Structure 1
């Protein structure tokens, strides 16, 4: 299915640090760093998150309606990742909570570049 998702960023070092710290407890780290783009994940055979400076040299900008959803494994892990993201410089875009009774628990943040992330748990 999905090999990787790419997010445009304005500061590569800041973005690599943000996502490496945020996703470390899920086993993710920078796997491949090619200066303009870096791939973060568990291994090259699993889905990854890439951060990059746009190829065309224009400023990055987050899309309206675009979002990357991360499934950390439990409601408690959703809460932990939400709070960790905020500590790392993200802004709240929806505090943790039950969205669909007994089905979907989620929390939403925007990274330092404004890219929207969701942390979620089904069940």
Structure 2
């Protein structure tokens, strides 16, 4: 079975985006992996995935993916809520309060400073 373990979002405000993600991802134990040649940054959770905030390689402005949502998996609904709250505290926009969407399935949605839609979730 395949596992999704990498995704990146684009930004036109890389300095602000890196500050946002430095603090947000540090709150869940992720750390800087390296700065990307685009001016962006990649983060890792030591074998639990890679997340990037990058300038588009083609040189065009970053745009929000219509219908795109990237997610970070957590062990508890409380962790989902804390991640969501941290994103909002850092200037993100609420796109769906954390809570149970189906029995024992929790999601909390937000948009980052560039409008990219992300979520924290807990399944099972």
TM-score (norm 2): 0.89
Q: CA distance change for structure 1 residues 4 and 80 in 2, over 3 Å: closer, same or farther?
A: same
2:97 is paired with a residue whose SS is: strand
In structure 2, stretches of 5+ residues that fail to align are none
Corresponding residue for residue 38 of structure 1: 41
TM-score (norm 1): 0.89
Corresponding residue for residue 65 of structure 2: 63
Partner Cα distance (1:77, 1:106) in 2: 10
Corresponding residue for residue 104 of structure 1: 105
Deviation of residue 26 (structure 1)?
A: 2.4
1:14 is paired with a residue whose SS is: helix
Q: Say if 2:11 and 2:62, in contact at 8 Å, map to a contact too.
A: yes
Q: 1:92 aligns with which of 86, 91, 94?
A: 94
> Number of aligned pairs?
121
Deviation of residue 3 (structure 1)?
A: 4.5
Partner Cα distance (1:68, 1:116) in 2: 7
Q: Say if 2:36 and 2:54, in contact at 8 Å, map to a contact too.
A: no
Partner Cα distance (1:13, 1:89) in 2: 14
Partner Cα distance (1:87, 1:113) in 2: 15
